[in-house]
Amino acid sequence: MGYVFCQADNFCPITNPVILKRPKMKKTNLIIFLFVLLISCSNQDAQKQVIISGNADIADATGLVISNKTDTFKIDIDSAHVFHDTILADRGYYTLSINERNFRIYLKPGFQIDIKIGNSIEFKGEGSIENSYLIANNVLVDKLKEVDNYKYYAKRKEEPFLLLMDSIFQTRLNLLNEIENKVCHEFEYLEKSKLKYEYQRKKALYETGRQIVVGDNDFTVSENYYANLFKDINVNDSILINVNDYIRFVSSYLWQETNSIVGDNDSIDFYLTYMHVLNKKIEAKNLKERLSYDVGSIKLARTKALDPVYELVLQNLSNEKYLKRVQTQYNTLKRIEKGAMSPDFQFEDVHGNMVELKDLRGKIVYIDIWSTGCGPCMAEIPYQKRLEEYCKGKNIYLVGINILDDAEHWKKTVTEKKLGGIQLHTSDERDKFFTDYVVRGIPRYILVDENGRIIDSSAKRPSDEKLIEQLDKIM
């Protein structure tokens, strides 16, 4: 069989292909080629070998799974509760799963780890220090959770908050320092970086967190807060591509840079400006791709400049999975642009009656998708009251759609908070209405006109003074 060559326009015709005969290879040369290939593959496999063995004193456990985003390894456990296997694993973090219990572990080619799993998990052999640290770190995190959670620390004023963050960080760093120079350099660097950026990110989110927890939307941090926070950031450390807190902290930095440009100017699209800032500040290709993908997969629904933002995102993507997801997202969003017919819904009100969006034709509809477990949602309630007052006697319906709560808790909240308008509930967050509107986070606000056409698929919040201005123009 010959090779099929495509024509110059990259179109491969099914009929009449150009055929080029394959040159014959001498038998001796073929044998040598195959032998070299075999040896090469064997050496590559040997370089990635990790030996996993041990004992699982867990009833009914017949196997364990070690996995990450790209690889999954299944290891059998025999009748004597013993397991032993050699896997070909790249260096990095994995999840060890057994009978619905999950442990975060670190593997590196050459590790020979003996694992004992019972009420706890213990490690021996090469790789034991790294993995024993990860378990000890989890125990410490659990002990600190009463003070190391945003509902607690966001109530602190700025200076006590910063002191608390530094104290918790130092406590956890002390544990990590106990294994300094006893583990591979990359593991130590990754763990120190993860720890550093976890607390830097918490500091970056403090202002918003305090506004939500305390209910003070006017709260702002001190003048030099962000300048001090971001002054030493390295936005191009490509080694940290899989450290989520680093990615989020870099994103927070880009957000602040964008915010300093956009300010309160509604004529400048935030996410279009964000992409320009990203392209200017980020040089490492893998980081640029990851950050651009986050915009394309999560934030694309929030921009008012869909096409130019989409094009900028695409320019930075090469990963096929990323491309496919962002393209799917874009195609969905094109169907809910301004002027398109709104997707319909059918949800239950507080009296048990089913309400459809098409039942509300004849008036403008302002939709609020919310949940009681969502801090930003609950922080909007006082402003929702102000909006209710504004809308009295006007040609507009205010519609709240509650998700993620059980019906009884939702009804109790509606009564206690004296929520007005039309209050609806659904237990299905995957309802077609939400998927059609690409609802990836709440609160989410949508404006629909009297004829059921979309005015704004990502409308302003009640706390935004410009919402009233927008409604005045519409009505």
Least confident residue range of 128-132, 231-235, 313-317: 231-235
Each residue's pLDDT tens digit, 264-297: 888 899 999 999 999 999 999 999 999 999 999 9
475 pLDDT exceeds 90?
no
- Give the model's pLDDT for residue 48: 77
Each residue's pLDDT tens digit, 53-87: 999 999 889 999 999 988 999 999 999 999 999 99
- Give the model's pLDDT for residue 73: 97
In this predicted model, which residue has the larger pLDDT, 39 or 12? 39
- Integer Cα distance of 121 and 80 in angstroms: 18
- Integer Cα distance of 40 and 86 in angstroms: 19
Name the amino acid, one letter, at 289: E
209 pLDDT exceeds 80?
yes
282: number of Cβ within 10 Å: 21
Q: Which of 466, 467, 462 is nearest to 370 (CA)?
A: 462
**What are the two backbone dihedrals, phi and then psi, of residue 54, each rounded to the nearest 5 degrees?**
150, -160
Mean pLDDT of the chain: 89
Q: Which of 293, 242, 282, 302 is nearest to 457 (CA)?
A: 302
Least confident residue range of 18-32, 163-177, 332-346, 373-387: 18-32
Domains of the chain: 3-45 (no CATH), 48-130 (2.60.40), 346-474 (3.40.30.10)
**Secondary structure element (H or E) that encloses residue 142, with its range:** helix 128-144
DSSP 250-275: HHHHHHHHHHHHHTT-TTS-HHHHHH
384 pLDDT exceeds 90?
yes
Q: What percent of the chain has pLDDT over 70?
A: 90
- Give the model's pLDDT for residue 18: 33
Per-residue confidence band for 331, with pLDDT thresholds at 50, 70 and 90? very high
Per-residue confidence band for 440, with pLDDT thresholds at 50, 70 and 90? confident
Q: Which of 452, 277, 459 is nearest to 369 (CA)?
A: 459
- Integer Cα distance of 266 and 385 in angstroms: 25
Average pLDDT over residues 450-473: 92
- Integer Cα distance of 238 and 218 in angstroms: 37
